Structure 1
Amino acid sequence: MENYEMNEKFYVYIIQSKKDKSLYIGQTNNLSRRIYEHNNGFSAYTKQKLPWDLVWYCAFNNRLQAERFEKYLKTGSGRAFVKRRLINYPP
């Protein structure tokens, strides 16, 4: 029997609010579902700034890698890295 999580991808993503250009960094194992949730008010934080555009994402082979990278991107140096290297901010 194959281990389900071995083939599952985990994504770190960045979305940008069309309302005020703010960024949100998150991680999920189902990127399309998560973007749908953000744009339909299922997330308490992001529902105030609808709609959102996916501006960047990266796939990882395991959850721990994704969680660590997401945590890094939410630090001060990680946010600077995002704005300097991952996205064109502000657009």
Structure 2
Amino acid sequence: MAAEQEINIKFVQEVEKHACLYNYKLPEYMRKNTIDRTWAEIGNKFQITGSEAKEKWKNLRSVFVRHLKPPKSGAGTAQKKTILLS
């Protein structure tokens, strides 16, 4: 578990080095061949394919965003009526 967490941290640090993957203001962000080449480079460093690296980033990012959201309180749900059988 700790080894996987360490790999994930190194993976995120590697993606962070390539702003063209997440910074939409850069012109390279819209260039598919540049993006695919960058994912392939990252994948090679982790012995995975470029598409696997892209999918891994997508999963890590969605888990992180989900973790940042506050939990639902449940206060907005309607009360269920209890049915008593005699």
TM-score band w.r.t. shorter chain:
under 0.3
Q: TM-score, normalised by structure 1?
A: 0.25
Higher relative contact order (CA 8 A, sep 6+): 1
Instruction: Give the number of the structure whose alpha-carbon radius of gyration is greater.
Output: 2
Higher helix proportion: 2
